[in-house]
Structure formats: C-alpha cells, structure tokens
C-alpha cells in the first residue's frame, strides 16, 4: 500500500517578478490552500533552485523568507530541479521523520543566455571548451534519432501543435521545437498515509519513485534510447501504460523519445521551460489529473543535464 501521497499543488510557469520571494509567496500559499493546511502544519520543507543561475551565493536562503521564520522550520535544499527535492521529501516521510512536507522550486532562466550557461554542464575537458550551446547539443540528439528513423520532423512539429515550417534554429530543430525559456515556480504538498486520508478525498498516491543518471560524455551513452529514463521508469514500476503522463521535455524530439519509455494513453502538453521548477510542475500536473478524478493512474517526469542525461519518474494512482 502506498505510504505517501500528493495532496496539494500550485505552479506559475511564467513570472514577471524579479525576486524569488515575490514569485514563491503566492505559489506556496496556493499549494497550502489546495491541501487544506497552514504553514505551521508543515513538518518539512525542501526546495530546488540554483545559486549559479541566480548569480549570487545562498539565494535559496533568502527564498526562505517566503516561508516565514516563525514558527521555526525543518528545511533542506537541493541544487537541482525541485523534482529531486520532492524525492528527498518523499524519503523523509517514508523514514517516519515527517508526516507532511512542502516542496518548492524556482528559477529565473531569463536573467542571462540560458542555453550558453548550460554549456558548463558538459565535459570540462573535451566539450565545454568548445562552448556548444544547449540547443546545438539537443540538435545532435535529434539528428541521431531522425537518421535512425525513430520519427520525422513532422512528428516533432506535431508535439508542438505546429507544421514543420519556418527556418531552423539549429538543424533539425526549428523555433517551435524549442520550449520557451521562462521564469517560474512550483510548490507541492506531500502527506503520509494517515494524514493524506484526512486532508483530501482523492489523494494522488505515489506508487513508485526513481531517478537515474547517464554518463556525462555525449559519446558514452545512446542518445536515442535514453538509458537513464528507461532505468527510472523500470524502477518506478511502470510496466504498463498509465492513463496520463506529463513529460519534462524542453525539445519536441525529447518528448518523442520519452514517450517510447513512459507509455500513456494521453500526454499533457508541455509549456514554458522554467528552470528548476519545470520538472516539479510536470509531476504536479500529473497529480492534478489523479486528484481531480480525470485519471486513475499517472506518471510525472523530470530531466536534468544535457540531452536527457538525468531522468526522474514519479508514478501515481488513485
């Protein structure tokens, strides 16, 4: 029997504020209201963000102002998309150290040239010195998949609801193949089995949760089969298609590659690419489908690193 459930969620894929606190306050407030909890009812808080992206040290500490200093809190942080903070909170509840947890993530990807900044994730000796931007690296992956006959450019355009026309951004990727970079935030509330039953009539029970990582070197893994996504889906128990899935795919070809791994009756559309909250938002979108009664089973996915290097899968059920 599932021991942890999602009982509340709120997100803002686009934000016009300059402060992480200003972005987070309404999102955290909405997530707590959705779960029927007050701030003092949260046993554990965990966040996902990046000081490097923010351009200053300990930016996640200043964001704690969005929570409030009174009463004192138990808090943690991961330098990753908040989907990985969700995994930490999930384990915290499984370990019996908390009954409720609130996870939040935020990032301001528009503060600089994000695709150039992401070049620093690449191998520091052989690839990063060449400064290939993130779109160009993704284009290499897309070209390999196209040449392998896995899909066509029309299939990629279909993911974006467009026709395969317009100039290339980085061949074979066109403008509609690249998700818009945005600022955003998301917050999710978890609860233990006993607490969840009292908070929500239909919680989204977490039935499986796993993440995996591939080697950093682009030539050390099969970019078209995404081994870490296969491993994460397997370890999360996705042996059969779910009713609905929400995939974190910053590029249309990555959505198609992931659909071969996370099988579903329907896929929720992916909007803006809000760094460090997009993955949590995808899990939240899948959880909402279960909590609303529109789906019985669902899966949320998050990715990090170049060309789908790291992947996380969260399976949920009614």
Ordered mean pLDDT values, 10 residues apiece, the chain (318 residues): 92 71 91 96 94 76 81 89 98 96 92 89 93 96 98 96 90 96 94 96 97 94 96 97 98 98 96 92 98 98 97 98
Structure-token match 């943690």, residue found = 76
Burial bucket for residue 262 (CB in 10 Å: 0-12, 13-18, 19+): buried
- How far apart are the C-alpha atoms of 140 and 138, rounded to whole Å? 5
Q: Quick count: other Cβ atoms within 10 Å of Cβ 201?
A: 7
pLDDT of residue 16: 58
CB contact at 8 A, 243 and 286? no
pLDDT of residue 18: 64
CB contact at 8 A, 17 and 182? no
Q: Quick count: other Cβ atoms within 10 Å of Cβ 251?
A: 26
CB contact at 8 A, 258 and 182? no
- How far apart are the C-alpha atoms of 189 and 195, rounded to whole Å? 12
pLDDT of residue 17: 62
pLDDT of residue 286: 98
CB contact at 8 A, 89 and 190? yes
CB contact at 8 A, 160 and 177? yes
Structure confidence by residue, pLDDT tens digits, 25-51: 999 999 999 999 999 999 999 999 988
Q: Going along the chain, which residue ranges are E strands? A: 4-12, 44-48, 75-78, 100-108, 168-170, 173-174, 181-192, 204-213, 242-246, 264-267, 273-274, 297-304, 310-317
């Amino acid at each position: 029997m599932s021991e942890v459930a999602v009982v509340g969620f709120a997100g803002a894929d686009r934000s016009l504020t300059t402060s992480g606190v200003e972005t987070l306050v309404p999102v955290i407030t909405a997530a707590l209201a959705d779960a029927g909890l007050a701030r003092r009812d949260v046993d554990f808080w965990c966040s996902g963000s990046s000081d490097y992206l923010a351009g200053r040290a300990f930016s996640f500490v200043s964001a704690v102002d969005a929570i409030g200093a009174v009463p004192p809190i138990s808090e943690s942080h991961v330098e990753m998309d908040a989907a990985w903070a969700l995994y930490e909170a999930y384990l915290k509840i499984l370990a019996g150290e908390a009954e409720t947890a609130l996870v939040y993530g935020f990032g301001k990807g528009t503060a600089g040239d994000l695709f150039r900044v992401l070049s620093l994730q690449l191998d520091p000796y052989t690839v990063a010195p060449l400064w290939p931007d993130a779109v160009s690296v993704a284009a290499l992956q897309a070209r390999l998949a196209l040449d392998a006959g896995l899909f066509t450019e029309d299939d990629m355009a279909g993911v974006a609801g467009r026709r395969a026309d317009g100039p290339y951004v980085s061949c074979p990727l066109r403008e509609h193949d690249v998700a818009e970079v945005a600022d955003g935030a998301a917050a999710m509330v978890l609860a233990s089995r006993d607490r969840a039953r009292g908070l929500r009539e239909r919680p989204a029970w977490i039935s499986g949760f796993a993440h995996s990582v591939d080697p950093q070197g682009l030539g050390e893994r099969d970019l078209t089969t995404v081994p870490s996504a296969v491993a994460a889906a397997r370890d999360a128990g996705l042996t059969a298609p779910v009713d609905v899935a929400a995939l974190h795919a910053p590029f249309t070809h990555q959505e198609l590659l992931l659909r071969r791994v996370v099988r579903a009756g329907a896929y929720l559309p992916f909007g803006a690419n809000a760094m460090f909250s997009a993955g949590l938002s995808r899990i939240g979108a899948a959880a909402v489908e279960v909590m609303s009664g529109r789906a019985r089973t669902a899966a949320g996915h998050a990715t990090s690193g170049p060309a789908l290097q790291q992947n996380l899968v969260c399976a949920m059920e009614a």
